[in-house]
């Protein structure tokens, strides 16, 4: 069996890599946007093309050999975009191997280690009231852990500009986060685990300061 094509499949803001073979078996892997998280991930897509240059024509079953070659083929190794491409291709190659042997990949990697996985869900919402309403609904569905972006509706630039986050003082941002977490905690109850994701927007000193004012919520 030989690899005949390696292509990127963009689906909305998500991207996947498809590896095709001459025996009709295909594998699919998820391509993380890496440095393109805030926009179109052109660089990891290009990294997939760079890897395809090597991979086409090779036996897809030599997964470790291909990983090592794609990694060592780089002059400056380990960047996020290149590792995202290698990771997506690695998943696709395991997918092909599992299909060729008629086995789920977890069996090839040593078998299952658990029968269930605990989940958390991310809450969206532009106001504390909206967050509280969604928190109540998610807890009712059975979630025991919730995560929020503590400064507004992440990704909605109009909302963030309207809230004044670009001009808000750090103390104002802290108070805004406290208000939102308090609403979620009250709605979710005392036994639900809460998390925040600030998405790389704080300096270490700001992160420490935010952590202190949010300590009462036991994040």
Q: For residue 6, how far is the Cα from the chain centroid? A: 22
DSSP state of 144: S
Confidence of residue 77 (pLDDT cuts 50, 70, 90): confident
For the chain, the structural domain boundaries read 3-108, 121-217
What mean pLDDT value characterizes the chain? 91
Q: What is the mean pLDDT of residues 106-119?
A: 93
Contact indicator for 82, 41 with CB cutoff of 8 Å: no
Confidence of residue 156 (pLDDT cuts 50, 70, 90): low
Structure tokens at 81: 């975009």
If 0-12 CB within 10 Å is exposed, 13-18 middle and 19+ buried, where does residue 1 land? Answer: middle
* pLDDT exceeds cutoff 50 at 102: yes
For residue 39, what pLDDT is reported? 80
Q: What is the mean pLDDT of residues 141-146?
A: 97
| Multiple choice CATH, 121-217, 3.40.50.150, 3.20.20.120, 3.30.1490.20, 3.40.50.970 | 3.20.20.120
Question: Do 3-108 and 121-217 show the same overall fold?
Answer: no
Contact indicator for 145, 139 with CB cutoff of 8 Å: no
What phi and psi, each to the nearest 5 degrees, are found at residue 180? -70, -45
Please report, rounded to a whole number, the percentage of residues in the chain having pLDDT higher than 90.
Answer: 78
User: Closest by alpha carbon to 89, among 107, 62, 113?
Assistant: 62
Q: What's the pTM value of the predicted model, to 2 decimals?
A: 0.76
Confidence of residue 159 (pLDDT cuts 50, 70, 90): very low
Of 73-82, 181-190, 207-216, which range is least confident? 73-82
Largest separation between any pair of C-alpha atoms in the chain: 61
DSSP secondary structure string for all residues of 70-130: HHHT-SSTT-HHHHHHHHHHHHHHHHHHHHHHT--HHHHTT--S-S-----EEE--SSHHH
For residue 69, what pLDDT is reported? 96
* pLDDT exceeds cutoff 50 at 19: yes
For residue 197, what pLDDT is reported? 92
Instruction: Give CA–CA dist 166/120, Å, rounded.
Output: 29
Class of domain 3-108: alpha beta
């Amino acid at each position: 069996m030989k690899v005949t094509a390696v292509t990127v499949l963009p689906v909305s803001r998500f991207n996947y890599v498809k590896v095709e073979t001459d025996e009709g078996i295909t594998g699919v892997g998820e391509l993380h946007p890496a440095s393109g998280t805030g926009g179109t991930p052109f660089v990891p897509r290009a990294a997939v093309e760079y890897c395809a240059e090597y991979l086409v024509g090779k036996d897809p079953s030599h997964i470790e050999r291909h990983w090592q070659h794609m990694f060592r083929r780089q002059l400056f190794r380990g960047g996020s975009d290149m590792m995202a491409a290698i990771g997506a291709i690695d998943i696709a190659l395991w997918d092909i191997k599992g299909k060729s042997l008629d086995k789920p990949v977890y069996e090839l990697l040593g078998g299952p280690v658990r029968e269930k996985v605990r989940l958390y869900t991310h809450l969206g919402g532009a106001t504390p009231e909206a967050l509280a309403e969604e928190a109540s609904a998610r807890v009712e569905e059975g979630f025991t852990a919730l995560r929020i972006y503590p400064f507004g509706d992440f990704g909605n630039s109009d909302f963030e500009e309207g809230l004044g986050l670009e001009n808000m003082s750090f103390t104002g941002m802290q108070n805004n986060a406290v208000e939102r977490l308090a609403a979620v905690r009250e709605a979710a109850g005392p036994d639900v685990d809460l998390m925040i994701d600030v998405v790389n927007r704080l300096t270490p000193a700001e992160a420490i300061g935010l952590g202190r004012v949010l300590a009462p919520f036991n994040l």
